[in-house]
């Protein structure tokens, strides 16, 4: 009896922005939140926002996560994306411990999570796939590869996020590329198995959000275009996909729903397709989790996908959706990452000294960071997602420009400037890109500070109080030129302020 009166608790087996995102919905639903963190991640934002936190050795540490759940009386586990989100043994372990896992059943995950099994399944349903071949212990022969046709893409069977992917243009490149891809896949997913797939030149990446009730029913929640990628990492995502025919759109939805029905898919999932310039489409894989880019779908449908996920998990016999809700307008997301585009996208580490976020009509920020936080290179470089929504695509791009311009992250390098330039590119504005676009046509990103701005910054660095406008208060001067910057700046000033008692020297 006493137990039934306790509020529901949900543990997020994840970190950073997605943990914070899930916490928000939990709080709205009156569910208590439990977070986990590693020793490298004590400063992460989700540690601040959880109702309760536990330290774990790793975000993949299943025994500790289960122990902690028992200890804290957790009922539900949300895996987020990455980490344990697509590992069937984790789903099994969670359910065997009497807990609710948010996501599909372990067996569905097993058949869909493995890309080669998923392709076989799709082929059986009459969904187009690309020519492919499993890499077994025996190295494929040259004629095997010629059957697929070059160029060929090596992919990790357990993959996602572009890890373990390599392009091979000739047979002699296969060995080295496979070795490095396998090692990367093993490190990222705990499984180094690979397969080969025909590489489509200049394709678009379009995906369909689906939601299944676990009993064979399910709906699509429209499409997203995620064509703009670097190293197979999505960088800008939008919903709906621009410039595709109604025919293609309905074909994609139909193919997706076939998979949902056939697998009796449970909860949120995403079906990824490659679309060539002639609008031929090929099933790529199904992601059996909430995607990083789910906010664009949320915005055009008005849904809270995390709420729908929790609801479906708690009431497995009641479908959350019986039909697709209407969609409205256009949404775009950009990923702000701790990478320096001007230096080959090398990771950046350091303290986030100053952050200013944009706010206002149609602007959403899903962030995993706070001002003053130390960013390490242990984890994914994603700092935050900036999402905008407007009545149409043109207005959404205009809004995204303003939102990006008001995004200030200082103390480490980010791709903010790069993203701002990207959305000025005529091909991006036209919605006419392909998955190789960023590396082929936008690789020469080399911004130059204008001479005027250069002299302005020089002037600011040398500024003395006589250059400050009379109404510039010392309070604001102090907070802007804070810390070391203030000390170094103020020590150079023959400032009368120093003589004042309340002025720190």
Partner 1 sequence: MKSESHWQFDFRPGGWVIATGQTDDSSVKRKKIAFIEKNGRVYFSIDGRCWNFQKSQIALKGIGSGKAAHSIESMPTAQFPGRVRKITVQEGDRVKRGDVLILVEAMKMEFSIKAPYDGMIAKIHITEGLQLMPGDSYLDLTPLDKEPEKISR
As beta bridge partners, residue 273 has: 206, 283
**Residues 450-489 as x/- pattern, contact with partner 1 by CB under 8 A:** -xxxxxxxxxxxxx---xxx-xxx--xx-xxxxxxx--xx
- Stretch in the footprint of partner 1 (CB under 8 A) among 34-42, 99-107, 180-188, 327-335: 180-188
CB of 341 to partner 1, least distance (A): 9
Nearest to 412 by CA among 438, 455, 447, 383: 383
Rule CB under 8 A: choose which of 111, 287, 291, 381 binds partner 1. Answer: 381
3-state secondary structure 285-351: EEECCCCCCHHHHHHHHCCCHHHHHHHHHHCCCCCCCCCCCCCCCEEEEEEEECEEHHHCCEECCEE
State how far Cα 67 lies from the chain centre: 28
Euclidean distance between CA atoms 423 and 455, whole angstroms? 27
Toward partner 1, which CB reaches closer, 370 or 405? Answer: 405
Q: Which of 105, 204, 230, 289 is catalytic?
A: 289
Q: Which SS3 state, helix, strand or coil, does residue 233 take?
A: strand
Nearest to 112 by CA among 159, 146, 147: 159
CB of 353 to partner 1, least distance (A): 5
Toward partner 1, which CB reaches closer, 144 or 406? Answer: 406
Q: Is 183 in the site for partner 1 (CB under 8 A)?
A: yes
CB of 410 to partner 1, least distance (A): 4
CB of 267 to partner 1, least distance (A): 25
Toward partner 1, which CB reaches closer, 201 or 457? Answer: 457
CB 155 within 8 A of CB 203: no
How many binding residues for partner 1 (CB under 8 A)? Answer: 76
Toward partner 1, which CB reaches closer, 317 or 469? Answer: 469
Toward partner 1, which CB reaches closer, 104 or 413? Answer: 413
Contacts of 161 (CB under 8 A, 6+ apart): 82, 188, 232, 233
Is 289 an annotated catalytic residue? yes
Specify the DSSP class assigned to residue 200.
P
Which residues in 208-267 contact partner 1 (CB under 8 A)? 231
Calculate Rg over the CA atoms of the chain: 25
DSSP string, 355-379: EE---STTEEEEE---TTPEEPSSS
Rule CB under 8 A: choose which of 52, 61, 276, 353 binds partner 1. Answer: 353
Euclidean distance between CA atoms 346 and 412, whole angstroms? 12
Toward partner 1, which CB reaches closer, 280 or 479? Answer: 479
Which residues in 6-45 contact partner 1 (CB under 8 A)? none
CB of 165 to partner 1, least distance (A): 11
Toward partner 1, which CB reaches closer, 39 or 351? Answer: 351
CB of 362 to partner 1, least distance (A): 17
Toward partner 1, which CB reaches closer, 126 or 344? Answer: 344
Euclidean distance between CA atoms 59 and 418, whole angstroms? 31
- Stretch in the footprint of partner 1 (CB under 8 A) among 207-215, 392-400, 403-411, 430-438: 403-411
Using CA atoms, how far residue 110 sits from 92, 113, 257, 341, 400, in Å, is 11, 5, 19, 37, 38
CB of 254 to partner 1, least distance (A): 35
Which residues in 320-349 contact partner 1 (CB under 8 A)? 338-340, 342-344, 346-349
CB of 413 to partner 1, least distance (A): 6
Instruction: Specify the pairing of strand 76-78 against strand 9-12.
Output: parallel
CB 276 within 8 A of CB 200: yes
Nearest to 162 by CA among 212, 226, 251: 226
Rule CB under 8 A: choose which of 199, 259, 409, 423 binds partner 1. Answer: 409
Phi, psi of 382 (to 5 degrees): -65, 125
CB of 97 to partner 1, least distance (A): 28
Toward partner 1, which CB reaches closer, 186 or 262? Answer: 186
Toward partner 1, which CB reaches closer, 322 or 464? Answer: 464
CB 208 within 8 A of CB 271: yes
Q: Is 146 in the site for partner 1 (CB under 8 A)?
A: no
Q: Is 134 in the site for partner 1 (CB under 8 A)?
A: no
Residue 212, number of CB atoms within 10 A of its CB: 26
Dihedral angle computed from the Cα positions of residues 162, 165, 168 and 171, in that order, rounded to the nearest 10 degrees? -170
Which residues in 415-434 contact partner 1 (CB under 8 A)? 416-417, 420
CB of 154 to partner 1, least distance (A): 13
Euclidean distance between CA atoms 363 and 406, whole angstroms? 11
- Stretch in the footprint of partner 1 (CB under 8 A) among 41-49, 50-58, 178-186, 389-397: 178-186
CB 462 within 8 A of CB 481: no
Rule CB under 8 A: choose which of 92, 261, 354, 425 binds partner 1. Answer: 354
- Stretch in the footprint of partner 1 (CB under 8 A) among 31-39, 143-151, 407-415, 428-436: 407-415
- The set of catalytic residues is 289
């Amino acid at each position: 009896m006493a137990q039934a009166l306790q509020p529901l608790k949900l543990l997020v087996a994840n970190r950073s922005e997605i943990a914070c995102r899930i916490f928000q919905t939990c709080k709205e639903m009156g569910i208590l939140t439990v977070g986990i963190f590693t020793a490298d991640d004590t400063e992460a934002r989700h540690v601040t926002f959880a109702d309760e936190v536990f330290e774990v050795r790793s975000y993949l540490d299943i025994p500790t996560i289960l122990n902690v759940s028992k200890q804290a009386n957790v009922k539900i586990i949300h895996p987020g994306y990455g980490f344990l989100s697509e590992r069937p043994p984790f789903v099994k372990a969670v359910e065997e411990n009497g807990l609710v896992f948010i996501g599909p059943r372990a067996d569905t995950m097993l058949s869909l999570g493995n890309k080669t099994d998923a392709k076989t399944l799709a082929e059986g349903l009459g969904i187009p796939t690309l020519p492919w071949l499993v890499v077994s212990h025996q190295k494929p022969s040259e004629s095997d590869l010629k059957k697929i046709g070059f160029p060929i893409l090596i992919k990790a069977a357990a993959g996602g996020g572009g890890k373990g992917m390599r392009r091979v243009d000739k047979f002699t490149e296969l060995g080295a590329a496979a070795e490095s891809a396998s090692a990367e896949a093993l490190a990222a997913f705990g499984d180094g198995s690979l397969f080969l797939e025909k590489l489509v030149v200049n394709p678009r990446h379009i995906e369909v959000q689906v939601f299944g009730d676990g009993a064979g029913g399910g709906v699509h929640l429209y499409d997203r275009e995620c064509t703009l990628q670097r190293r197979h990492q999505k960088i800008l995502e939008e919903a709906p996909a621009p410039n595709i025919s109604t025919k293609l759109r309905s074909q994609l939805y139909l193919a997706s729903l076939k998979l949902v029905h056939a697998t009796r898919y449970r909860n949120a999932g995403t079906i990824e397709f490659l679309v060539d310039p002639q609008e031929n489409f090929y099933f790529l894989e199904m992601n059996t989790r909430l995607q990083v880019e789910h906010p664009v779908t949320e915005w055009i449908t008005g849904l809270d996908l995390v709420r729908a996920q929790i609801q479906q998990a708690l009431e497995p016999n009641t479908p959350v959706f019986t039909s697709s809700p209407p969609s409205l307008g256009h949404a775009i997301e950009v990923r702000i990452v701790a990478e320096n585009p001007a230096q080959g996208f090398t990771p950046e580490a350091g303290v986030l000294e100053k952050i200013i976020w944009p706010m206002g009509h149609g602007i959403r920020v899903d962030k995993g960071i706070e001002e003053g936080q130390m960013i390490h290179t242990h984890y994914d470089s994603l700092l935050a997602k900036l999402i905008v929504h407007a009545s149409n695509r043109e207005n959404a791009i205009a809004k995204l420009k303003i939102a990006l311009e008001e995004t200030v992250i200082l103390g480490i390098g980010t791709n903010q400037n790069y993203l701002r330039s990207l959305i000025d590119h005529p091909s991006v504005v036209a919605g006419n890109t392909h998955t190789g676009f960023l590396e082929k046509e936008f690789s020469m990103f080399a911004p130059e500070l204008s001479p005027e701005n250069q002299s302005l910054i020089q002037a600011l660095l040398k500024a003395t109080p006589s250059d400050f406008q009379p109404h510039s208060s010392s309070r604001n001067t102090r907070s802007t030129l804070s810390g070391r910057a203030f000390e170094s700046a103020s020590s150079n000033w023959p400032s009368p302020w120093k003589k004042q008692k309340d002025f720190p020297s």
